[in-house]
């Protein structure tokens, strides 16, 4: 595969969710693994609903996941190009004016349904004379414009689904331009793909039915079309499709909830694939696992509980070099030993601040203290340089002196030293707390 060029084309009418992120990541990883380019294209021809705020938010969400576009374009800035291509299609006889109102089209469909016929447009507009068109114009009607399909079967090899065909004779000629002059999705999308030399269109399987039409438009305008791959879609745990309008699992909300970008990316890419969902440290490593041909054909369920678990596992495996600048942003600069001590107990990165406070103190003591036992433990507390062997050596002596073992031995010490019944291994925490603070806490 030579230098693939792909695009992710969100409409900036809302924030992207994890299902959209799946498409963006599959495109980005597919292209960059082969030294290709990733284009971020804002499909913002819907001027009323598209906003700069949503576009900026999408850029932030992609950047958070590590996706760096090689090119950013906005369809709202490219209308002159679309107008010129529409004129070209009219001159070729491939784009024709239709004057039916929505009500008239609806009546046609109902009559077809009553006759048990498919609701395919009858191409009545092709039979209009110039006089009839002028009469409609005189009424104040503005035409919508349809692309004249060849009634043939379009075939393509789908990168995910294998051999696919669409019988275009069973389809209505698609409307490309509305009566108010605005463009539907199809024409600007094809024009931009040609103009930016897109080689692979990787998108959700809900677009499969559009592909036959789009391939015909590609071939009309450029003689060839990109390769297509239609991946399975994500649903929520109950099987419902994800929706921007309903705010399902938006990337911004996952970020605000403290999710790790690599946990989100790993689940978005690996769920519904032949690879097991597991922590992945870097996008390059995740990209090496992408195999479009081995994606499942069945919808893949996104489970919040699974993301919670993966998020924790991602933190548990995170290298100190990755964590260090983020720890400093929290005002925590206690070195690698601190990170290695606490990372196994984190569910969110921000939890590291909890354990920094436990180390630095003061801590809140809970319940009754076993003062006699703590006094005996304090009496045999070793002095000098402490390391990860100190805890074991100390508790062995305490066990011999007091006869305690198991929970009766360790829990009073953990409560006295951390104020909590659970937490990181004390053999790792004890050197961080230090001898002076340990003595103080045992003697309180």
Q: Which CATH class is domain 80-154+165-177?
A: alpha beta
Q: What is the pLDDT of residues 385-409, one digit of tens each?
A: 999 999 999 999 999 999 999 999 9
Angle in degrees, CA 276, 15, 246, rounded to 5: 85
Q: At what angle do helices 406-418 and 390-402 cross, to 10 degrees?
A: 120
Chain centroid to CA 316: 22
Average pLDDT for 355-369:
88
The closest of 327, 440, 443, 430 to 385, measured between CA atoms, is: 430
Q: Which CATH class is domain 1-74+155-164+184-317?
A: alpha beta
Label residue 342 by pLDDT band (50, 70, 90).
very high
The closest of 398, 399, 425, 401 to 414, measured between CA atoms, is: 425
Residue 48 has a pLDDT of: 87
CATH fold, domain 371-443, is: Arc Repressor Mutant, subunit A (1.10.10)
- Would you say residue 247 has pLDDT above 60? no
Percentage above 70 pLDDT, the chain: 98
Residue 333 has a pLDDT of: 93
Q: Give the integer Cα–Cα distance in Å for 291 and 274.
A: 8
Q: What is the pLDDT of residues 24-61, one digit of tens each?
A: 999 999 999 999 999 999 999 988 899 999 999 999 99
- Would you say residue 214 has pLDDT above 90? yes
Is residue 241 within 8 A of residue 235, CB to CB? The reply is yes
Beta-carbon count within 10 A of 95 CB: 22
Query: Where does 34-78 have alpha helices with state H?
Result: 52-64
β pairing state of 227-231 and 200-204: parallel
Residue 309 has a pLDDT of: 97
* Backbone φ and ψ of 18, nearest 5°: -65, -25
* Backbone φ and ψ of 39, nearest 5°: -105, 130
Label residue 239 by pLDDT band (50, 70, 90).
confident
**The pair of three-digit structure tokens given for residue 307, joined into one six-digit string:** 């993301």
The domain segmentation of the chain, as residue ranges, is: 1-74+155-164+184-317, 80-154+165-177, 320-360, 371-443
Residue 56 has a pLDDT of: 97
Give the containing element (helix H, strand E) for 165: strand 162-167
**The pair of three-digit structure tokens given for residue 302, joined into one six-digit string:** 């996104």
Residue 233 has a pLDDT of: 93
pTM of the model: 0.91
Q: What is the CA radius of gyration of the chain?
A: 31
């Amino acid at each position: 595969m030579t230098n693939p060029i792909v695009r992710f084309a969100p409409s900036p009418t809302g924030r992207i969710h994890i299902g959209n992120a799946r498409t963006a990541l599959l495109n980005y990883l597919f292209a960059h693994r082969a030294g290709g380019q990733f284009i971020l294209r804002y499909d913002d021809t819907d001027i009323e609903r598209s906003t700069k705020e949503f576009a900026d938010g999408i850029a932030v969400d992609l950047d958070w996941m590590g996706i760096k576009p090689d090119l950013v374009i906005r369809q709202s800035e490219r209308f002159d190009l679309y107008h010129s291509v529409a004129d070209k299609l009219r001159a070729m006889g491939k784009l024709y004016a239709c004057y039916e109102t929505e009500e008239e089209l609806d009546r046609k469909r109902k009559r077809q349904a009553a006759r048990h016929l498919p609701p395919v447009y009858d191409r009545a507009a092709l039979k209009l004379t110039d006089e009839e068109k002028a009469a409609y114009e005189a009424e104040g009607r503005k035409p919508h414009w349809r692309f004249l399909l060849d009634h043939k079967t379009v075939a393509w090899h789908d990168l995910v689904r294998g051999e696919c065909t669409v019988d275009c004779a069973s389809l209505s000629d698609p409307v490309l331009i509305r009566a108010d002059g605005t463009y539907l999705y199809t024409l600007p999308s094809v024009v931009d793909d040609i103009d930016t030399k897109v080689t692979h269109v990787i998108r959700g399987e809900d677009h499969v039915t559009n592909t036959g039409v789009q391939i015909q438009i590609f071939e009309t305008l450029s003689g060839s079309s990109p390769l297509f791959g239609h991946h399975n879609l994500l649903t929520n745990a109950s099987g419902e499709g994800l929706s921007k309008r309903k705010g399902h699992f938006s990337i911004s909300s996952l970020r605000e909830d403290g999710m790790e970008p690599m946990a989100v990316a790993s689940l978005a890419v690996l769920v519904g694939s032949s690879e097991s969902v597991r922590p992945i440290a870097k996008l390059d490593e995740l990209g090496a696992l992408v195999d479009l041909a081995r994606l499942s054909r069945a919808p893949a369920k996104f489970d919040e509980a699974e993301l919670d678990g993966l998020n924790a596992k991602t933190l548990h495996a995170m290298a100190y070099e990755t964590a260090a600048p983020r720890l400093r942003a929290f005002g925590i600069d206690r070195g690698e030993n601190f990170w290695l001590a606490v990372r196994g107990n984190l569910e969110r990165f921000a939890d590291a601040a909890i354990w920094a406070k436990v180390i630095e103190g003061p801590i809140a003591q809970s319940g009754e203290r076993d003062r006699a036992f703590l006094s005996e433990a304090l009496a045999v507390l070793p002095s000098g340089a402490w390391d990860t062997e100190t805890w074991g050596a100390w508790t062995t002596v305490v066990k011999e002196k007091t006869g305690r073992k198991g929970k009766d031995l360790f829990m009073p010490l953990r409560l006295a030293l951390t104020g909590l019944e659970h937490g990181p291994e004390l053999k790792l925490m004890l050197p961080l707390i230090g001898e002076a603070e340990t003595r103080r806490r045992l003697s309180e």
